[in-house]
Structure 1
Amino acid sequence: MQKFKSAKESQVSITQLMLPSHSNFGGKVHGGHILNLMDQIAFACASKHSRTYCVTASVNKVDFLNPIEVGELVTLKASVNYTGRTSMVVGVRVESENIRSGEKKHCNSSYFTMVAKDSEGKSLAVPGLVIEEEQGVRRFTRSLERKNQSMSRSTKFDETQFKFQDHLGELDKENVEIILK
């Protein structure tokens, strides 16, 4: 196994025509179809980086920014942004293109945490990431920050440590009625 690899070595891109079978009841491409494609390209990118089978551990923040129309081309781009010991954060960008006008829209960006696995399902070490540009430093640091925030949220809202009384004041401004029994 290589000790370190650049993000460029494992970048993956796919383009697919959106068909009527991909649409939802509103006539737009179904978000679930796009999520499926995103998961597939994140898997391909992580597997290419680690040279082994990978599984999705988590998906961070999925915002659908623009709808995708049937008949548009959708391009997904994936790149490794962060490497831990056995995990990788793969950034996925989704763009649509109207084939008649050439107009392109950014539709989604998301971050998939992928974990390398051996044939027995045990986590495997992955090559580290060679960062070759400032953008890479920003992406790595941002992924590290998301990881730290996630750990903090898990601890802060742990069922055994959470004290609901501490948070009731925050809820006064929200669209909620609390009737505790």
Structure 2
Amino acid sequence: MRGMSLPEATLLEMVFPDHTNHLGTLFGGQALAWMDKAAFIVASRHARRIVVTARSEEVSFRVPVRKGQLVELVARIVEVGRSSMHVEVEMTAEDPLSGDRRVCTSGRFVMVALDSNGMPTQVPSLPAGD
């Protein structure tokens, strides 16, 4: 039986022309939006509450993502505070014809859970390791 792992969410997106700049590469803002979406999903599922983005930090754009590539985003909660969740997101670009995959962008997001009055509220701790 597997040990408990960190809460995780995976999203797949396709880079269409309207996601790109004049060079045919993914807009940085679109990459951030997809990364924030992945962070939102994993934090919402973990907290089972409304969550909002409090901060994005340490975002690194390593290699460009080209029009026509697939993008896989993996978001993992790596730390939990009282009402906050620190989520690391890694974005991998894949050429759909060759299968070549490269990590292109990574970042860290802080998500905060809110109660019905819009105030920060407690979230569950991370599962204990093996």
Question: One fold, TM greater than 0.5?
Answer: yes
Corresponding position of 2:44: 47
Corresponding position of 2:105: 108
- Taking structure 1 as the reference length, the TM-score comes to 0.67
Give 1 or 2 for the bigger CA radius of gyration.
1
Q: What CA RMSD, in Å, does the superposition of the two structures yield over aligned residues? A: 1.2
Once residues 5 and 111 of structure 2 are traced to their aligned partners in structure 1, the CA distance between those partners, rounded to angstroms, is: 15
Greater per-residue strand proportion: 2
Structure 1 residue runs of 5 or longer lacking an equivalent are 1-5, 134-181
Corresponding position of 2:59: 62
Q: Which amino acid aligns with 1:73?
A: L
Larger RCO of the pair (alpha carbons < 8 Å, separation 6+): 2
Contact 1:7 1:79 in 2 (8 A): no
Structure 2 residue runs of 5 or longer lacking an equivalent are none
Greater per-residue helix proportion: 1
Q: Does 1:124 align with 2:101?
A: no
Q: Name the SS of the counterpart of 1:92 in structure 2.
A: strand
Q: Does 1:92 align with 2:72?
A: no
Contact 1:12 1:77 in 2 (8 A): yes
Percentage identity across paired residues of the two chains:
37
Contact 1:72 1:97 in 2 (8 A): yes
Corresponding position of 1:150: none
Q: Which amino acid aligns with 1:26?
A: L
Query: Shift of residue 132 of structure 1?
Result: 2.0
Contact 1:12 1:79 in 2 (8 A): yes
Structure 1: 4+ residue segments shifted above 4 A: none
Contact 1:7 1:80 in 2 (8 A): no
